Amino acid sequence: MIHLIREGMPVGKARARVRINYGKGTGDPKAWAYTPKTTSQAEEEWRWLFKLGHYQPFLEDVPLSMTVIAYVPDPMGKLDIDNIVKLICDSLGKGMAYKNDSQIVHLEAWKVKGEPRTEVLLTDKILEEKHD
C-alpha cells in the first residue's frame, strides 16, 4: 500500500499551452506545446513524495485501487476533482508507482472542506463486488 500526502492547495492538471513564434527573416510561424509551470511542479512533487517514501512500484499486471481526498476551503469551488485525479495518475505512472494508469480499476475521489492538502491511497487490494 502507498499512502502519500501533499501539503498545500490541491492542483489539477491544466491543459497544455501552445506558443507561436514567427521566425526571423522568413516570418514562418513555429508552434510548440508546453506544460504550465503549476502542473509540472505539482507532478514533480508527487514523484518526489513517492521516492521519499521508499515505495516500490507495483508490477504491471496488478490491478490497483486509488483513493484521492482533496481538502479545500470550498469543496464546491472551481477546482475540478477529475483534473486533480488526472494530475496524480499521470505523475505516478510510467513506472513510478505503476506502469500505466490503466491498471487502476477502482477509483474514489473526494473534495472535502479542510486544511488544504491532498491524500492518495494506492493499493492492490481490490474489493470483489459483483455488478450485474
pLDDT in tens, 65-102: 999 999 999 999 989 999 999 999 999 999 999 999 89
pTM of the model: 0.83
Which residues lie closer than 8 Å to 117 by C-beta, 6 or more apart? 5, 6, 7, 8, 10, 71
Q: Quick check: 103 and 63 in contact, CB under 8 A? A: yes
Question: Rounded to an integer, what distance in angstroms lies between the CA atom of residue 125 and that of residue 10?
Answer: 26
Over range 32-55, report the average pLDDT: 91
Question: Rounded to an integer, what distance in angstroms lies between the CA atom of residue 77 and that of residue 32?
Answer: 31
